[in-house]
Structure 1
Amino acid sequence: MKSPRPYSPRSGAAAQSLTERRKAATQLDIARAACELFAEHGPDGTTAEDIAHRAGVALRTFYRYFRNKQDAVAPLLAGGGEQWRALLAEEEPGTPLAEALERAVTRSLSGQVAVAEGLNWTRGLLRASAGDPALRAVWYRVNQESEEELVPVVARLAGPSADPLQVRLLCAAATDAIRISLEVWSGTDADPTGPDSPAELAVRSLRELTSGMTILSRP
């Protein structure tokens, strides 16, 4: 398991160079193209060449960034996790953790960008992954990486006296609450907002999974 990157207030888009931003934009264009094609034709009916053509890049550019066609969707799936960690990082140390987590989860899953684009991309990909183990593996890998990168953010909010085991357990529970909620929602026709939306399901799941955790009851 790789070591999580240390939390830094300069992490994220603001700290990226122009070259890094261009690279990230190209990867996201490829990811969107892959998602569209998977939704239209399924993973089996889509090739790396198809994705490169839809994204307007050379096939060698595709393989410069991704090992295979399923791996191409990772930047799109990872975007939601990056957004919610950034929102959680905005919370002040000393804020009750349960309150901070629920607020960040709700904001990330009900924000304008998430509702307009991100959630529908995720729904399409999760439905496409039902018959494609390699695509499911990308989904699980993205969630594992998100959990690891969440650790320093939660540790900062919890304070130096927090039990590292409790911090890790809370990060795992929070990540799984979002993952499971998105999987359940993707299997329905529920709207991205309102009852049974990802935000509503995630808060319910978070409360169920973290009920009784001592780290949340610390003063």
Structure 2
Amino acid sequence: MSTEPPPPSLTERRKAATQLDLAHAAAELFATLGPDATTAEEIAQRAGVALRTFYRYFRSKQDAVGPLLTVGADRWRGLLADTEPGTPLGLALRGAAEQALAVPDPAAAEALLRTRGLLRAGVDDPALRAVWYRVNQESEERLVPVIARLTDGAHEALEVRLVAAAATDAIRIAMETWAGTEAGTEGPGSPADLAVRCLERLLEGLVRN
């Protein structure tokens, strides 16, 4: 019997699209006006929806950027989930990080730069920073069964959780470090470069391949 989840319904796809539209609108306004000067009403107007629609999906203006920050984590986790079981874990993690943070086109570069803008704004906005930490915590929790499947019982539950936590922190630290620099989206000092370096150092001793 297939264990694949059913495809999202039309209603679910529309909901996700609206949330992403609001997230893009919030990110654009935060970049130009700053979080303090941006209101939920302005975000809703920019996205072309009613204010009540905004509050149907998000509790605060900072929450609205959650879907954008989640995209990268979902992509990385998806790449890991598609990795063949038995692949050396260190190799799988590094390969997925490189792919997830690659910039094959201008849209990918723009997405990374948008994330950098949000992380920079979060330095002076505790609520925005809390959204970033929440996204990472949720990603870590969802990564645990992916790591467990990849290792196919080779690691005990404690080790699996440690790997999930370390790997998530590696990506988070890489992104935060990059956000504090003027490094490009590719090459030395880029998100992919920093993520691989962080993974290699954080996971040393946890995985041996």
- TM-score of the superposed pair, with normalisation by structure 1: 0.91
Q: Equivalents in 1 of 2:135, 2:34: separation in Å?
A: 20
Q: Which runs of structure 2 are paired with 1:55-134 in the superposition (5 Å)?
A: 55-112=47-104, 115-134=108-127
Q: Count matched residues.
A: 207
Aligned residues of 2:103 and 2:186 also touching (Cα < 8 A) = no
**Bigger fraction of residues in helix:** 1
Q: Are 2:173 and 1:180 equivalent residues in the alignment?
A: yes
C-alpha deviations, 1:35-64, integer Å up to 9, x for none? 000010111000000100001110000000
Q: Are 2:4 and 1:10 equivalent residues in the alignment?
A: yes
Aligned residues of 2:103 and 2:185 also touching (Cα < 8 A) = no
Q: 1:198/1:37 Cα in 2 relative to 1: closer, same or farther (>3 Å)?
A: same
Aligned residues of 1:181 and 1:198 also touching (Cα < 8 A) = yes
Return the match for 1:24 from 16, 20, 43. 16
Return the match for 1:169 from 142, 150, 162. 162
Unmatched 5+ residue regions in structure 1? 1-7
Say what the alpha-carbon RMSD is for the aligned residues: 1.5
Partner residue of 1:5?
none
Q: Among the aligned pairs, what percent are the same residue? A: 64
C-alpha deviations, 1:143-166, integer Å up to 9, x for none? 000000001111000112421100
How far 1:9 moved relative to its partner? 6.2
Aligned residues of 1:115 and 1:193 also touching (Cα < 8 A) = no
Unmatched 5+ residue regions in structure 2? none
**AA matched with 1:49:** E
**AA matched with 2:4:** R
Aligned residues of 2:21 and 2:47 also touching (Cα < 8 A) = yes
Which one is further off, 112-121 or 20-29? 112-121
How far 1:19 moved relative to its partner? 1.1
**AA matched with 1:78:** T
Aligned residues of 1:146 and 1:175 also touching (Cα < 8 A) = yes
C-alpha deviations, 1:147-195, integer Å up to 9, x for none? 0000111100011242110000000111000000000101111110111
Q: Which runs of 4+ in 1 moved over 6 A?
A: none
